[in-house]
């Protein structure tokens, strides 16, 4: 058994100070981290408990009409907050599609951002090959069961997917992640927060060592009347997405004024379907427009042995999500 030291941080400054030591990991709800530790996938030397830092567990209105969700807000609290439900129903739906009620009660927004992939071979240390767990060791998934793996943006270094539902909605909403570190505060546009595997599949995000997520900021709500989070999975609850779609529209009568489409379950990060978005603008939501736009989302897809179905599934899910978003008024 590994020895682990534990420290409770009283404020952001002391948390960042404590994290300057190698092997330090922040712990909030712990719903993913503790699993990783129990399985020997994560082996931190020191845990810094951030759950007693004041001010990070609130949801506040921003002067521009947006919303600031503190990093320690529990997923269930965010999902059921009146402002989130009324102004960002897409995000509320995504929260409620994730995990189980018990896990949502415990898991934090910051921890959800940092959720690690559910690739079987990443969690099973009996497989020595995993570039994400052990850089340079290879990828056991390439010759294994690839049903849940990526079809977009992957390479032979890693074909894992990001498992979060919340992240897909935040990508569509163009959220911003606020972080604090030794060099002060900075903001990271959501599209730049998670990474594709590239040559560093061990890195899921662009966070710098020791940086602490303090909040997620949402821009003013534009899509409350027309949005839909659609999750397709192997069973009705407590399962990760095979494919999910966050669809958000601004409508001018029957015509699409603007569109945001993000996909989950298909890539190492939430995948914005920009070509699909552009193909919807100025159009009415007839079936052939939707099918043509959805096909653009999977251009360049590279399915593996067991997940070619995701190419078709993603298109059908986009069509259904956008139809439902458009008809939601």
Where on the chain is the footprint of ligand SF4 (CB under 6 A)?
Answer: 117, 119, 121-122, 130-132, 139-141, 158-160, 201
Give me the least distance between CB of 269 and ligand SF4, in Å please.
Answer: 13
Give me the least distance between CB of 198 and ligand SF4, in Å please.
Answer: 12
Q: Which is nearer to ligand SF4, 221 or 270 (CB)?
A: 270
Give me the least distance between CB of 157 and ligand SF4, in Å please.
Answer: 7
Give me the least distance between CB of 315 and ligand SF4, in Å please.
Answer: 24
Give me the least distance between CB of 82 and ligand SF4, in Å please.
Answer: 38
Please, are residues 202 and 192 in contact by the beta-carbon 8 Å criterion?
A: no
Q: Which is nearer to ligand SF4, 53 or 158 (CB)?
A: 158
Give me the least distance between CB of 135 and ligand SF4, in Å please.
Answer: 9
Q: Which is nearer to ligand SF4, 201 or 265 (CB)?
A: 201
For residues 124 and 143, what is the distance between their CA atoms, to the nearest angstrom? 15
Give me the least distance between CB of 103 and ligand SF4, in Å please.
Answer: 21
Give me the least distance between CB of 154 and ligand SF4, in Å please.
Answer: 8
CA dihedral of residues 301, 302, 307, 308 (deg, nearest 10): 70
Please, are residues 214 and 80 in contact by the beta-carbon 8 Å criterion?
A: no
Give me the least distance between CB of 150 and ligand SF4, in Å please.
Answer: 8
CA 194 remoteness from chain centre: 8
- Residue 290: what are its φ and ψ, rounded to 5°? -65, -45
Which is nearest to 246 in space by CA: 267, 232, 262, 270?
A: 262
Is the Cα torsion angle 53, 77, 321, 282 positive or negative in sign? negative
Q: Which is nearer to ligand SF4, 140 or 172 (CB)?
A: 140
Q: Which is nearer to ligand SF4, 143 or 185 (CB)?
A: 143
How do 227-232 and 212-218 pair as beta strands?
A: unpaired
Q: Which is nearer to ligand SF4, 122 or 240 (CB)?
A: 122
Please, are residues 207 and 288 in contact by the beta-carbon 8 Å criterion?
A: no
Strands of the sheet with 46-49, listed across from one edge? 5-8, 46-49, 24-27
Q: Which is nearer to ligand SF4, 111 or 201 (CB)?
A: 201
Q: Which is nearer to ligand SF4, 125 or 192 (CB)?
A: 125
Please, are residues 175 and 216 in contact by the beta-carbon 8 Å criterion?
A: yes
Task: Using the structure block, give the residue that is written with the tokens 């070509």.
Answer: 275
Q: What is the DSSP string of 287-313?
A: HHHHHHHHHHHTTT----TT-THHHHH
Collect all residues with Cβ–Cβ distance below 8 Å to 184 and sequence separation of at least 6: none
Neighbour tally for 96: CB within 10 Å: 19
Q: Which is nearer to ligand SF4, 141 or 256 (CB)?
A: 141
């Amino acid at each position: 058994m590994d020895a682990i030291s534990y420290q409770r941080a009283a404020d952001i400054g002391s948390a960042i100070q404590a994290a300057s030591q190698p092997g330090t990991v922040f712990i909030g709800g712990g719903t993913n981290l503790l699993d990783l530790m129990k399985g020997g996938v994560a082996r931190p030397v020191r845990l810094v408990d951030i759950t007693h830092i004041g001010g990070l567990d609130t949801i506040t209105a921003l002067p521009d009409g947006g919303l600031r969700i503190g990093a320690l807000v529990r997923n269930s609290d965010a999902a059921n907050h009146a402002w989130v439900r009324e102004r960002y129903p897409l995000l509320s739906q995504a929260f409620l599609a994730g995990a189980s009620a018990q896990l949502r009660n415990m898991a934090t927004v910051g921890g959800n951002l940092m959720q690690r992939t559910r690739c079987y071979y990443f969690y099973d240390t009996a497989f020595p090959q995993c570039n994400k767990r052990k850089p340079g060791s290879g990828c056991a998934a390439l010759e294994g069961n690839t049903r849940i793996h990526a079809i977009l943006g992957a390479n032979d270094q890693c074909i894992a997917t990001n498992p979060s539902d919340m992240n897909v909605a935040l990508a569509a909403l163009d959220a911003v992640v606020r972080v604090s570190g030794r060099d002060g505060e900075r903001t990271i546009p959501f599209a730049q927060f998670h990474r594709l595997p590239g040559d560093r599949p061990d890195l899921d995000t662009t966070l710098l060592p020791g940086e602490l997520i303090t909040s997620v900021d949402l821009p003013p709500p534009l899509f409350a009347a027309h949005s839909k989070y659609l999750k397709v999975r192997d069973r009705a609850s407590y399962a990760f997405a095979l494919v999910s779609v966050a669809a958000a529209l601004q409508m001018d009568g029957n015509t699409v004024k603007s569109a945001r489409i993000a996909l989950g379950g298909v890539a190492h990060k939430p995948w914005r379907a920009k070509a699909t978005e552009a193909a919807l603008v100025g159009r009415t939501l007839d079936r052939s427009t939707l099918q043509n736009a959805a096909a653009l989302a999977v251009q360049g897809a590279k399915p593996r042995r067991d997940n070619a179905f995701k190419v078709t599934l993603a298109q059908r899910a986009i069509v259904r999500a956008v139809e439902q978003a458009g008809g939601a008024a």
